[in-house]
Amino acid sequence: MRKSITILLTVAALALPIVDATAATKAKAKKIVVTKRFTGSVASVDRWGSLQVTIVVRKTTTITGTKKKVTRRMTAVSVPVYPNHTDRSVFINQNALPILKAEALKAQSANLNMVSGATDTSTGFEQSLQSAIVKALKA
């Protein structure tokens, strides 16, 4: 009986460091979340005027041991500057900009589908969005 108890305690003592080592490798990940706003360059929308896009990017850094993982996600898109000097350009942009914003958030890039009837606005939006994304990636 004593011999079996001694063997059992020895095995348990040898297994204990292994359990501690696996617990150390499964250390909790530390997350750092930063939200910043980036403004793209002003894009010329042919003869209609200019357009500028501002994006909000959430950057999440996850640190687990020595590993570091960074993810960026666009959470909001706004257009503070857009052509609105004629009734026609106001009408076009009221219809096109919400579609372009939703498309940008869905794609998480500047690779967007053009909006029919708003080609100039779509092109300007894409250019300004691309420059805002580049600024976000450099930050």
The pLDDT, as a whole number, for residue 109 is 93
Global pTM reads 0.77
The pLDDT, as a whole number, for residue 85 is 86
In angstroms, rounded to a whole number, what is the distance separating the alpha carbons of residues 31 and 69? 10
The pLDDT, as a whole number, for residue 16 is 60
Sequence-distant (≥ 6) Cβ neighbours of residue 32 within 8 angstroms: 60, 61, 63
The pLDDT, as a whole number, for residue 128 is 96
The pLDDT, as a whole number, for residue 65 is 85
pLDDT one digit per residue (tens) for the chain, 139 residues: 667 777 756 666 666 665 555 555 566 889 999 999 999 999 998 888 999 999 999 999 999 888 999 999 999 999 999 998 889 999 999 999 999 999 999 999 999 999 999 999 999 999 999 999 999 999 8
The pLDDT, as a whole number, for residue 71 is 93
Residues paired with residue 80 on neighbouring β-strands, in sequence order? none
The pLDDT, as a whole number, for residue 108 is 94
CB environment 20-51: b (16+ within 10 A), e (fewer): eeeeeeeeeeeeeeeeeebbbebbebeebbeb
Sequence-distant (≥ 6) Cβ neighbours of residue 44 within 8 angstroms: 50, 124
What CATH topology corresponds to 2-138? Sufe protein. Chain: A (3.90.1010)
Sequence-distant (≥ 6) Cβ neighbours of residue 58 within 8 angstroms: 33, 34, 35, 72, 73, 75
